[in-house]
């Protein structure tokens, strides 16, 4: 009795590659044995099913018109340097078409994620600071990849884009990468993608830590800025200058958190507002009290909001800075001013770091810049 004929269809089997477990399919669609190796069992079984579906539908010896045979020969020649076959090319392109036909665009995904964060904000599942950062990230992401299909966009391609953005710190790159991971996590939860494109993507390597020198305003510059500020943003500026609250903390600050009366006026930062996640009390100095009293209310944000819940002070802020002759604006200058002048006045790194909401170590690492007693006195004597 003769040997049974070899099957033309591809069969899956486990194998060993360089001493490690692997996955292989093999078959004889044209009479000659063909083998293909894969990293996972899932990929191997899918490839076998795809190839067998083509063989069943079209056969392996389909007669081709002359023009098609010439085209096939040319395609084989093009693929040859890469060690790929027409089967490989066909399956690759079919997978691509399946992804594009069933995939939404990045623009559509950004809209879905934006709506999700609106809902989280209303349900207290996200802070305004978190939502604003996500909105900023979505804007950048959509501007670059808006028309791209999310199923065909790889994590490494997104990381390469972030790496190519000029004048951006590694910390910012990793922050953006983290938020975009969050975007795709939401897409995965909603069934818009089948797998996480970032599962093999690593964060950007951190370079040696470099502490930027603080840039406090001089008393004269601080006075010019306050004089140039329009009423709607004056409290926002004064609180940064005389209490050292971070921009994100001021964005969420409410007048009910500001206690101007009593023997010890203070700003009471709730845990959800404070960047450190811990409640913080900041004494209101006489200079700050003088600037806040004309605008004080019992309730409401200290900054104006647009109808969609986003802060809207940027234009007024830039007008004030330019009018005061401080453009381009030195980053963190309001907070640096408070910490520098408060440190000089109290002489205590512990007190100042507690009010500023950072470690004593940062005080010694960054704020040893010499501020004269005369300058400190002028700064805290500023009044409307």
Q: What pLDDT is stored for residue 95 in this prediction?
A: 65
Distance in angstroms (rounded) separating the CA atoms of residues 284 and 281? 9
Q: What pLDDT is stored for residue 88 in this prediction?
A: 79
Identify which has the larger pLDDT, 203 or 362.
203
Distance in angstroms (rounded) separating the CA atoms of residues 186 and 116? 9
Cα diameter, the chain:
109
Q: Give strand pairing partners of 254.
A: 301
Inform me whether the pLDDT recorded for 210 exceeds 50. Answer: no
How far is Cα of residue 330 from the mean position of the Cα atoms in its chain? 23
Among 104, 111, 113, which Cα is nearest to 183's? Answer: 113
Respond yes or no on whether the N-terminal peptide bond of residue 328 is cis (omega within 30° of 0): yes
Inform me whether the pLDDT recorded for 221 exceeds 90. Answer: yes
Q: What pLDDT is stored for residue 69 in this prediction?
A: 67
Q: What pLDDT is stored for residue 305 in this prediction?
A: 60
Arithmetic mean of pLDDT over the chain = 83
CB atoms within 10 A of CB 313: 19
Q: What pLDDT is stored for residue 252 in this prediction?
A: 83
| pTM, 2 dp | 0.52
Q: What pLDDT is stored for residue 3 in this prediction?
A: 47
User: Could you identify the residue written with the tokens 């050292």?
Assistant: 244
């Amino acid at each position: 009795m003769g040997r049974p004929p070899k099957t033309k269809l591809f069969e899956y089997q486990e194998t060993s590659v360089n001493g490690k477990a692997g996955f292989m399919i093999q078959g004889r669609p044209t009479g000659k044995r063909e083998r293909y190796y894969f990293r996972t069992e899932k990929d191997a079984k899918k490839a076998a099913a795809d190839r067998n579906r083509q063989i069943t539908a079209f056969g392996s010896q389909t007669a081709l018109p002359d023009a098609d045979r010439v085209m096939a020969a040319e395609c084989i020649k093009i693929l040859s340097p890469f060690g790929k076959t027409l089967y490989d090319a066909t399956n690759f392109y079919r997978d691509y078409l399946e992804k594009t036909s069933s995939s939404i665009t990045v623009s559509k995904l950004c809209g879905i994620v934006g709506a999700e964060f609106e809902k989280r904000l209303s349900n207290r599942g996200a802070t305004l600071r978190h939502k604003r950062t996500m909105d900023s990230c979505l804007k950048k992401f959509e501007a670059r990849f808006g028309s791209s299909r999310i199923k065909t966009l790889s994590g490494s391609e997104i990381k390469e884009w972030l790496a190519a953005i000029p004048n951006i710190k590694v910390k910012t790159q990793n922050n953006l990468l983290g938020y975009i991971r969050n975007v795709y996590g939401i897409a995965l939860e909603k069934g818009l993608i089948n797998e996480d494109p970032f599962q093999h993507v690593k964060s950007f390597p951190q370079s040696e830590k470099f502490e930027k020198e603080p840039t406090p305003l001089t008393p004269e510059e601080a006075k010019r800025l306050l004089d140039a500020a329009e009423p709607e943003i004056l409290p926002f500026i004064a609180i940064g200058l005389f209490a050292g609250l971070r921009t994100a903390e001021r964005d969420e600050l409410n007048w009910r958190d500001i206690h101007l009366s009593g023997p010890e006026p203070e700003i009471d930062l709730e845990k959800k507002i404070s960047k450190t996640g811990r409640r913080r009390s900041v004494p209101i100095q006489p200079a700050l009290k003088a600037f806040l009293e004309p605008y004080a209310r019992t309730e409401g944000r200290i900054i104006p909001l647009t109808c969609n819940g986003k802060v809207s002070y940027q234009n007024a802020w830039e007008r004030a800075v330019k009018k005061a002759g401080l453009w381009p604006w030195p980053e963190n200058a309001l907070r640096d001013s408070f910490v520098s002048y408060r440190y000089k006045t109290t002489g205590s790194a512990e007190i100042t770091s507690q009010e500023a909401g950072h470690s004593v170590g940062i005080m010694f690492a960054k704020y040893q810049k010499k501020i004269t007693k005369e300058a400190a006195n002028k700064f805290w004597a500023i009044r409307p």
